[in-house]
């Protein structure tokens, strides 16, 4: 497993929920492996953040990055998540 980073549980959970729309879009575009990857990352995030509002969770940086890349709703949750990717030098 690669680098893990702490992120606010509520923010990454909302990013994951927002990314669910991408699963069907990727499947329709015949990108089934990408759709499966997004689906797997969403499952990981929802499992790891369950009942942890107001807390931080440590997740794989690639999971966080993948979900944020497929989030179309740029809310304060996405901004908060992006902040931690930049802080830990995963994103520039």
pLDDT value, residue 76: 93
Query: Where in the chain are the domains?
Result: 4-87
Q: Which residues, given as ranges, of the chain have pLDDT below 50?
A: none
pLDDT value, residue 71: 85
Q: Could you tell me the CA-to-CA distances from 9 to 15, 26, 49, 76 in Å, in that order?
A: 10, 26, 5, 13
pLDDT value, residue 46: 98
pLDDT value, residue 1: 56
CB-based contacts of 19-24 (< 8 A; 24+ apart in sequence): 19/67, 19/70, 19/71, 21/72, 22/70, 22/72
In three-state secondary structure terms, 81 is helix
């Amino acid at each position: 497993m690669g680098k893990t980073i702490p992120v606010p549980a509520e923010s990454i959970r909302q990013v994951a929920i927002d990314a669910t729309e991408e699963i069907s879009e990727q499947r329709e575009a015949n990108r089934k492996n990408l759709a499966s990857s997004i689906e797997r990352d969403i499952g990981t995030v929802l499992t790891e953040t369950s009942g942890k509002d107001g807390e931080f969770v440590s997740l794989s940086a690639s999971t966080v990055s993948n979900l944020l890349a497929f989030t179309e709703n740029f809310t304060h949750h996405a901004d908060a998540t992006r902040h931690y990717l930049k802080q830990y030098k995963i994103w520039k």
